[in-house]
Amino acid sequence: MRASEQVGQLETRGIEPVPENECNGHPLQLFWVWFAANISILGLPLGATLIAFQGLSIGQALIVAILGAGGSFAIVGLLSIAGRRGRAPSLTLSRAIFGMRGNIGPTLVSLGSRLGWETVNTTTAAFVLLSLVSIIQGTPMEAKSAPFLTLVFIGLFVLLTLCVSGLGHATLLVIQKWATWVFGALNLVVGGFLALHIDWTLVWAATPAPMSAVLIGIGTMAAGTGIGWANAGADMSRYQHKSVRAAGLVASAAFGAGIPLVLLITLGGLISVGNDHLASATDPIVAIRELLPTWMAVPYLITAFGGLLLSNNLSVYSAGLTTLTLGLKVKRVYAVVVDIVVIFIGSIYFMLIAESFYGPFITFISMLAVPITAWVGIFLVDLRHRQRYEAADLMNVSPSSAYWYAGGVEWRALGAWAVAIVLGFSFTTVKIGAGNVLFHGWLADSWFGQNGLGWIVTFVVAGGLYALLGGCRDRRAAVTHEAAHGR
């Protein structure tokens, strides 16, 4: 049965591999999924930071956007190959690499990443609705001064997310595709008005920043875009037909996400030349709205809300699958509900308790990028050598599984992951705001640390150490298990 025949129906499949006769997907479907998930207005402040904080010229910012955003999503496309081969979600396939128990660490990190992004989306969307109300009333409105209304708006956004993510894969494909055209067109209109604030004299007069700033920018963009989505690659590609080529999967992610992100990041950089208001804004939604004519505020806010919802749809769907991989014994839709409750509570904290919004956002993506990058390095090295996954063993969490290894842990993979994380944080400085240092690694002042290349060290060490230990080539456990079961 094709996915399109199930639109509007509840997807009952959880993390178990998809039967081959139901794998009829094609890369163009994924193109629209990734495009829709990345037309969020949050791309503008990311671009603003490149100009205001890194001092890049607009040409450098464009290169950083292409390499950081488009390049990191090409990696997401590579990880999608595993979904086509194993027909299961990313973190479920990760069991074959880390072992049933060893995979708990990467799965928790992945879930934390998903929930964090969803909280940011929900918080921002609620700010958008508050801004709409303030326009209607003609008076400013802040979250803490209207707590009941804030709770209603948070609840509305998560309910809309649940309607799509809860129904599942087939509905998600259709909604993301057609919503892309609607909100993509609105983004172009809003972007045209924002472009009127570009000071082209300052743009062409800007001097290029040192190469170190470019490297830092690439790392920041990769962490804030593709790396955050890396663990969701196979979640959508598990329905792809077996004949789909790897190049198609890579292109669907790189161009699907890269096109909107490069445009938004570049525009954010352009409007920030000579003005760091957007980059330093506590509420980027309000900062962008202030650049538009009054009559354009409502279309802009609708555009912002739609982009955030499309991103959240995919993220919550992926988070539900990741939650099931941890061992929660419920139906997929109930796992989605659990995640919705968590982000509802998190959004209340950001809006009604916390003093800052954008600062914690940057801190969050900086910290979780390290363990996720380490996981990506190991996963890609393993993918190069692994042509198939045993469906029954992926779902067998007992010692009889081929992926049980030693006590449920593949120590070479888990050890390489742990070493890479420690080393990655050694090169990392985590800040809250402009000057508050939360963490300063002992190698942060080295050349790699100062140039923002700790993520590359993390990636190379994780994958390299795993390969050096022979984990990516050892199939003795699977072969022994297959022989014992007469496969």
Q: Is residue 85 part of a domain?
A: yes
- The confidence score (pLDDT) of residue 254 equals 96
CATH code, domain carrying 186 = 1.10.4160.10
Q: Is residue 223 part of a domain?
A: yes
- The confidence score (pLDDT) of residue 3 equals 41
**90-107, pLDDT tens digit by residue?**
999 999 999 999 999 999
Average pLDDT over the chain, rounded to an integer: 87
- The confidence score (pLDDT) of residue 227 equals 86
Q: Is residue 460 part of a domain?
A: no
- The confidence score (pLDDT) of residue 446 equals 86
**12-45, pLDDT tens digit by residue?**
899 999 999 999 999 999 999 999 999 887 788 8
| C-alpha to C-alpha distance for 227 and 113, rounded to whole angstroms | 10
**140-152, pLDDT tens digit by residue?**
778 888 899 999 9
**63-86, pLDDT tens digit by residue?**
999 999 999 999 999 999 999 999
The set of residues, in sequence order, having a beta carbon less than 8 Å from that of 97 and lying 6+ positions away, is: 103, 378, 379, 382, 410, 413, 471
Average pLDDT over residues 319-324: 95
pLDDT of 126 strictly over 50: yes
> Which of the given ranges, 253-262, 277-286, 349-358, has the highest pLDDT on average?
253-262
User: Tokens at residue 300, please?
Assistant: 């802009």
Q: Is residue 459 part of a domain?
A: no
| C-alpha to C-alpha distance for 215 and 457, rounded to whole angstroms | 13
Q: Is residue 42 part of a domain?
A: yes
Domain of 181, in residue numbers: 22-365
Q: In which residue are the tokens 């090295």 written?
A: 381
The set of residues, in sequence order, having a beta carbon less than 8 Å from that of 235 and lying 6+ positions away, is: 83, 89, 90, 317, 318, 321
> Which of the given ranges, 1-5, 119-123, 410-414, has the highest pLDDT on average?
410-414
Number of domains observed in the structure of the chain: 1
Q: Is residue 164 part of a domain?
A: yes
pTM > 0.95? no
pLDDT of 339 strictly over 90: yes
Q: Is residue 193 part of a domain?
A: yes
Q: Is residue 373 part of a domain?
A: no
- The confidence score (pLDDT) of residue 478 equals 46
**3-state percent breakdown (helix, strand, coil) of the chain, nearest 5:** 70, 5, 25
